[in-house]
Structure 1
Amino acid sequence: MRPTSIRRFELVYALNIVVAVAALLWAFARLQAFMPAMPADTPAGLSRIIPVVVAVMAVVAILIKVLLWHFIARRGSDVARWIFVVLFVLAALSVARAAFFYGNEVLSAGTIPIVSLTISAIDFMLRTICLVLLFQADATAWIKGQRRPANLHDTFS
């Protein structure tokens, strides 16, 4: 049986995947709204290919999330857990870079809508919770294959 931390990770990560899908759909809708505003000298083929490239990248991103979920929560893969950690660190660096370089100028100029910031904050918070759950003692033992033996005292009493 999977430990409590892994079951909780699975639930929180499923919620994270739902948030990611919602964010991608929202971003794609904003991209579609932006497309008519492209400069007149933009090649015609480029305006048709951008949505396709964005859609393919979105599908790949969701596929990576689903594969990580499967290999961590169902297979107990330590490699997948560390891939999750690397992706988390890259996301944390991206958040730090955005806050440091863009910070107040972006917020005061209104170039990033509050919806984007809210979705990003929720996404990062859920990933942080997942990371903490993956390194709980019961999750680490389960992933490393150290299954807990049955409590023999309760069995024979």
Structure 2
Amino acid sequence: MLRPKSIDLFERCYLGGWAVGLINTLISWTNVRQDPRIIAAAEQVGSWYLSTITAIGLAIPLILWFFIARKGSVVAKWIMVGLTALGVAGLALSFARGQYPAGIAGILGLAGVVLNIAAAAMLFRPDAKPWFGEDSPREPVA
């Protein structure tokens, strides 16, 4: 089965959002390492803490991308949509509390969320339904 255009667009937006997140991680790495909460966690758990959490945080979206864009997994689709909704809620909460980061970190964070929203929207376009097996013919009711 050829991939629908919506899935190609999903892939571009989603991987673009992932790349923006990676860039933001690299730019803010030093500041994050100096966060007292991170220091306290690393003291309790070990020096590997931040690197491991970051690697997991970067790997999960790639795993979801693979199962959505390459395998047509409806489960991965809904996990991605749920995580995107959590990201939007977290963004709104940080704005409401006045805790959203200023500068390039804030701009990149916002760009990543916008790209994830756009990617999620692509998963609900009509041409994406067959990719997820959601457009199966129904039997006529007698």
Local SS of the residue matching 1:121: helix
Which residue pairs with 2:88 in the alignment? 92
Distance in 1, Cα, partners of 2:45 & 2:105: 24
Map of 1:129 onto structure 2: 118
- Measure, in 2, the Cα distance between the counterparts of 1:10 and 1:56: 25
Distance 2:64 2:23 in 1: 19
Instruction: Say whether the 8 Å CA contact 1:28–1:54 is kept in structure 2.
Output: no
Measured in 1, the distance between the counterparts of 2:87 and 2:45 equals 29
**Max Rg structure:** 1
Q: Which runs of 5+ in 2 are unaligned?
A: 137-142
RMSD: 2.5
TM-score by length of 1: 0.74
Query: 2:32 and 2:110 mapped to 1: Cα distance?
Result: 21
**Residue in structure 2 matched with residue 46 of structure 1 by the alignment:** 43
Q: Cα deviation per residue 1:127-157 (whole Å; 9 max; x = unaligned)?
A: 011011111111122212648xxxxxxxxxx
Structure-2 residue corresponding to 1:30: 31
Question: What is the identity, as a one-letter code, of the residue corresponding to 1:59?
Answer: A
Q: Distance in 1 between matches of 2:26 and 2:45?
A: 18
Tell me, yes or no, if structure 1 residue 3 matches structure 2 residue 40. Answer: no
Q: Is the 8 A contact 1:77 1:143 kept in 2?
A: yes
Give the TM-score normalised by the residue count of structure 2. 0.81
Correspondence for 1:12 = 13
List alignment gaps of at least 5 residues for structure 1.
Answer: 148-157
The CA distance in 2 between the partners of 1:2 and 1:146, in whole Å, is 14
Counting helix residues as a fraction of each chain, which structure ranks higher? Answer: 1
Tell me, in whole angstroms, the C-alpha distance in 2 between the residues paired with 1:24 and 1:132: 25
Q: Distance in 1 between matches of 2:119 and 2:66?
A: 14
Instruction: Write out per-residue CA displacement over residues 70-113 of structure 1, whole angstroms, 9 at most, x where no aligned residue.
Output: 000000000000001110111111111111122xxx57xxxx33
Report deviation, 1:47: 9.4
Q: Which residue of 1 aligns with 2:139?
A: none
Task: Tell me the residue number matched to 1:67.
Answer: 63
Q: Partner of 2:130 in structure 1?
A: 141
